[in-house]
Each structure stands twice: as structure tokens, then as C-alpha cells.
Chain A
């Protein structure tokens, strides 16, 4: 791989599809608007021209794009007008993603994305190469990559690598789990709000005329039933979309373990393979959504440092659906650096009312304001009940645990979240104390681990000050201060 290579030419098609997908909404609007205006043909020519130009520039981009692995570096030359050379040292590589998108699958190819960490983080994407080439690339980039003090003899290395590549263990999710995951995914709320926003824009379809027409043709339709119908339709559509979204992204899911890495594979149409070396894991996160917690289930994420395109990409889904009971088994088999303990540090009794009050502070201002503005504003008062219940749940869920190597932070915003971080991966801890907390000798703690290009913060409120101090000491010394705890 020390010679520069080109990708398969289908990279140009992939690029075309990507830019269409990214501008999908714009395209729809343009087609919609364009076809309704006089001289719509004219407009379609422009659209067609744009697509052809994008394709030509895609071919140019493909022609210029060359890559090789040379002296422990991934080197990429690219750019049509502005030439760009990217060099990535393999010691810095955090995560390697291999994706089989739709275009790639047609040609039997894969896309490789290499992510690094550190100042000026960057990612490199090679969008169309054969699976074997991708494997070779991966092997070369990992070879001696994680620990440079290994033996220099290449033969031994190859043997070592072959042994390292063997799968020791594999985890799959059953169809039942997949369906349950799809049922309980919280995405539908988000999709519903998007749908509502979009439907508000569809003046052309939804206007007085068409509503009158509907009322005439459908019996028993008046304003109230119409609104209810619209709400139900939006809910059903968004829920179906979120259901299908989960099924598509997590079908055929598996986690495989080799000596040094975790390999995650998932996806029905676009299949993604993610490789995470164990020594690049920054934190593990267990999230129990409000729909999933009653089933005793949640989702496991792994945090790793590296380049990110957007916040969604920051955390990697380790297991999309797992029951609490199975979680112990999973940690034992796949995450030997971590374990699931009982949380022995909890907030003191005197924090209880603070927890109950906290979610209500916002309402304290919202209720009078709403009351002043709308006649029905006083109805917001009823929100005090769920807010207080939320505070009560938060009090019960907050907990900490630490031993020589690991800290566990559990808290609830809406979903219950449990973070597992190795001591050596804690980037910074902060203690926050306001005057009321100071008077009661309690304090809030936030623990930050690296994730993506930034950090991820885990915060618990109103814990005993001495407990938090003992965590601070443990962070620096690695010893649990038993004297202080028994005091």
C-alpha cells in the first residue's frame, strides 16, 4: 500500500447521491415551486444541469483523490481546484468506520472513514474501495499502531496480528429485542414536531378549499374531529417512521470482540462496521429511556475521542437494546475494564426537598407569565405535579460509586443515565456550590470525559460535601480514602 491508489469510479456516483441527499429538502421545494410556475420546463433544465455539473465535479474529485499508507501514515491527496494533502499518523487514529451504503453495495464496495483525535481533529473518508482493500488498509493502520513499543520484527507482528484478529466473543440482539427497541424508541416526539412544522408550510395542499372539500366528502367531520384526526395522523406517521428508522439502523446488529478491539456491525440497507480499540474507549453510557425503563431495558453507548460531523455522531451505539439483567453478562464478556456495581454513595436526606424543588423553578416564572398572557394559562399549574414527581425520581436515581480504577455516575434528566468512566479517562472534575448548598454542606459534582471533538459532562446534584471531596482525592491518588468515609 505504499503506492498511491485511486478509489473505484463509483465514488463519483456516491458523491452525487450524497449531495442530493443533503439537499433533498431544497430539491423538493425547488421542484414543487418550479413545476407550478409558467416556464417550468426551463426550470427543470437548470435542475438537470446542476445535477450533471455535480456529477462531473464528482468525477474530477474521484480522479484527483489518491491515498496510500506510507511509513505509518495514511496519506491522502485530493481537491480539484484547491489541492489538499492529508497526513494521518496511525498512532493518533481513534476509530475506523467501514460503511456499506446503497451505492457501495451495488458495486460490492465499502466506504472507510478514519478518525483521529487531538488538536485540529480531522477525519478522512475513502468512499469506494473493495472490502479486501479496506481490510488491508485497516490492518496496516492498526499494525503496531496502538503501542509503538512492540517488537520491531515484522514476522512476529504478523503472527501476533492474526491472533489479534480472531473473534473471541460475539453479541447479537434477537428479533424480539429489535422490535421492542423500535417500539420504545423516543424518536417519534422529534419526528412529530418536524412533521408539524412541515405541515404548517404546506399551504398549497392544506387550505380552506380542500378542508371544505374534505368536510363535504367525509361524514361526521367537524372542526374538533378534524383537529383530532390530524393529531392522530401525525402521531401515527411519525411513530411509524421512528419504528422503521430503528429497524433499518439496527437490523443485523452484532458486537464482536477481539483481543484488542470491539467491532460493531449494524444496519439493513446501509451497513456500518465500527472498530474501537479497547484503549480508545473514553466512557461507557447506559441510557434508560422513559419508555424503556419500565421494561427494565436501555441502550449502551461507547464514547471515544475523535472527529465528528455532528452531535449525533459523537457517541457510538454499543448495544441498541439490552435488559438490565443481560447488562451484567455483557460487561463481563465484552468490557472487562468495567463492571456494574451497586451505587453506594447517594445524596443525603436533607437534599430531598432540593431535588423536589429543582424542576419547579422554571414553572415558578412560567406560570405567572402564562396566566398573565392567556386566559387558560393557569392550567400550567397542573405541571407542578409531574415536575415534582420528576424531582422525586431524580433523587432516587442519583448515585455514585468508585473503586480503584473506575467511577460510576448515575443521574436522571428525563431518561436515566449511568456513566462508567475509568479513572485514567477522567479529563476534569468540577464541584459547584451555591450559597444555599454551602449552608447545608452539600455540593454538586460534574465529571467530564472526552467524547468526539469535545467532552461529555456527567453531573449529579446535592451530594454530601465529604463524599465529593473523597472523589477528588481518589481522582489524584487512586486510593479510596476509607478514613474519611467511615467518619
Chain B
């Protein structure tokens, strides 16, 4: 249980939710090119070749961040809630494993933004006296279950800060 890496994956719908988020936010990658075009369009510095190149580069980057990364992120996200601890493992290049002993948890809540709502997803936020941690993109029901399970476990072992 503690010995092995955590097993539970987050919801598959996370990939699409994250893709949508990244594709919206990623539109900002085109701002530099846009500004450059706007400034130079009627002057002699205007270079169509350079601009085409920049647009292609931005597009490749945009698609990579928007389509490929969410999948990799999902693939690497694991969590586990046991009687002793909340165990989180994440990151596809830099791996981070976080272990929060259950009796250190001060409160748990679930959050849902507009995109998560569209996909029926929620994230669970776990706060200790020092830090906050998040399990992203769980099915609404699972998120509620996880939240209830954690707060139940905390009540069982409650100690003062």
C-alpha cells in the first residue's frame, strides 16, 4: 500500500477537459506574431516569409501543448487515499511524489470551474497547516466520495495542529 506507487488514475475525461483549457489559453501564443504583423503590415520591414515561419512555429507549439501534453499529464497522474496518507504521484518529466499523512489534513474541498463543469469533473483540494494539494479532474461522484472518505478518515484520527 505505502510500499508501491499509488494506483488510482484520474478520470479519462481529464484529457479532453485539459485539451480544451490549453487550446483556449494557448491562443495567447499567437499574440506576439499578431502584434508584429499589426505593427509592420504597411511598412517596408514587413517580411511575409518570416511571418509564415513564426505562424507555423506558434501553431506547432500550440498543438503540442494543446493536444499532446494533456494526454501525457493524464498518463502520469496517480493518487491513492489510504488510512495513513494521501499519496500523489505526478509529472511526466519531473516526477513529484507527495505524501500527506492523514492526520495532518485540516480541510478538504471540491472545486469545479466552467470547463470541468462541462465535462462533469471536479478537483479535490486538500489543505494542511502548511500547504495545499490538489487531485485534479475526478468524476463528480468520485470527487465527492474521495472528499468524504478523507474527511471521515481525518475525523477518526483527529489530533490538534
Listed in ascending order, the chain A residues whose CB lies under 8 Å from chain B are 91, 117-119, 305, 424, 426-435, 438, 448-451, 454-456, 469, 472-473, 475-477
Contacts and interface: CB of A to CB of B under 8 A. Distances in A.
A427 B85 contact: no
Interface of B: 2-3, 84-85, 93-101, 104, 106-107, 127-131, 133, 159-161
Q: Which 8 A-B pairs have the closest CB atoms?
A: A455-B130, A450-B129, A427-B130, A476-B84, A431-B97, A427-B128, A450-B130, A433-B95
Contacts of B161: 117-118, 305, 450
A427 B95 contact: no
Given A433-B94, A433-B95, A455-B130, A426 B104 contact: yes
Given A119-B106, A426-B101, A427-B100, A473 B133 contact: no
Contacts of A119: 106-107, 127
Contacts of B96: 430-433
A476 B130 contact: no
Contacts of B97: 430-431, 433
A428 B130 contact: yes
Contacts of B3: 469, 473
A433 B95 CA distance: 5
B98 A430 contact: yes
A119 B133 CA distance: 15
Given A427-B104, A428-B131, A429-B98, 6 more contacts: A119-B106, A434-B95, A435-B93, A472-B2, A475-B99, A476-B85
B95 A432 contact: yes
Given A450-B130, A455-B130, A472 B93 contact: no
A101 to B, nearest CB: 30
A476 B99 contact: yes
Q: Which of A424, A430, A455, A456 has the most CB of B within 10 A?
A: A430
A463 B102 CA distance: 26
Contacts of A451: 130
A435 B93 CA distance: 6
A428 B104 contact: yes
B131 A448 contact: yes
Given A118-B161, A476-B85, A428 B99 contact: yes
A338 to B, nearest CB: 19
Contacts of B98: 428-430
A118 B106 contact: yes
Nearest to A432: B96
Contact of B99 (A305, A429, A438, A450): A429
A432 B106 contact: no
A203 to B, nearest CB: 36
A476 B100 CA distance: 9
A434 B97 CA distance: 12
Contacts of A91: 160
A455 B2 contact: no
Q: Which of A426, A428, A472, A473 has the most CB of B within 10 A?
A: A428
A81 to B, nearest CB: 33
B86 to A, nearest CB: 9
A455 B101 CA distance: 15
Contacts of A469: 3
A428 B128 contact: yes
B101 to A, nearest CB: 6
A6 B159 CA distance: 37
A424 B129 CA distance: 13
B115 to A, nearest CB: 27
B131 A427 contact: yes
Contacts of B128: 427-428, 450, 455
Contacts of B100: 427-428
Given A305-B161, A428-B131, A454-B130, A476 B101 contact: yes
Nearest to A433: B95
B21 to A, nearest CB: 25
Nearest to A434: B94
B94 A475 contact: no
A469 B101 CA distance: 15
Contacts of A117: 129, 161
Contacts of B99: 428-430, 472, 475-476
A404 B33 CA distance: 59
A243 B19 CA distance: 57
B2 A476 contact: yes
A305 B129 contact: yes
A432 B101 contact: no
A455 B159 contact: no
25 contacts: A91-B160, A117-B129, A118-B106, A118-B129, A426-B104, A427-B100, A428-B98, A429-B98, A430-B98, A431-B96, A432-B94, A432-B95, A432-B96, A433-B95, A449-B130, A450-B130, A450-B161, A455-B130, A472-B2, A473-B3, A476-B2, A476-B84, A476-B99, A477-B2, A477-B84
